[in-house]
Amino acid sequence: MTSEPTTMHIGELAERTGLSLRTLRHYDDVGLVSASARTEGGFRLYTQDDYDRLILIRRMKPLGFSLEEMAELLRVIDAMDTAPDDDTRAILDGFITDAAERRTKLQQQLAMADEFVSLLEARR
């Protein structure tokens, strides 16, 4: 017996992901992460897979990835799940390298911000 996947309305998804309703609707409008289904009344329904995709996107945001880059990574992840090949692996490796470089840059910026706060606090 197969059970239907658990679904959630957009409000619950917003609460669980920390993303605004407006952001979730925008992602749906641009095709980044669309609702898996709709109720008879037209309300969006999301699954755990949709949630997982949104968390991945949420993790990309602070690193400055564009919506296009996010969409590309989601396509790569889908391909890795279904039919990985050398080209797909190479693209994923590129994303990993890029994300690591962006993380290093953020870490450096955070260190400068910490230094700035310390300088200001020293003036008290």
Indicate which CATH number applies to the domain containing 58.
Answer: 1.10.1660.10
Query: Is 60 domain-assigned?
Result: yes
What is the percentage of the chain residues whose pLDDT exceeds 70? Answer: 96
pTM of the predicted model as reported, rounded to 2 decimal places: 0.85
Angle (CA) 31-93-48 rounded to 5° is 40
Query: Is 1 domain-assigned?
Result: no
Q: Are 51 and 13 in contact (CB under 8 A)?
A: yes
Q: What is the pLDDT of residues 56-111, one digit of tens each?
A: 999 999 999 999 999 999 999 999 999 999 999 999 999 999 999 999 999 999 99
Give the structural domain span for 25: 8-122
Query: Is 3 domain-assigned?
Result: no
* Closest CA relative to residue 28, chosen from 64, 53, 2: 53
Q: What is the pLDDT of residues 20-42, one digit of tens each?
A: 999 999 999 999 999 999 999 99
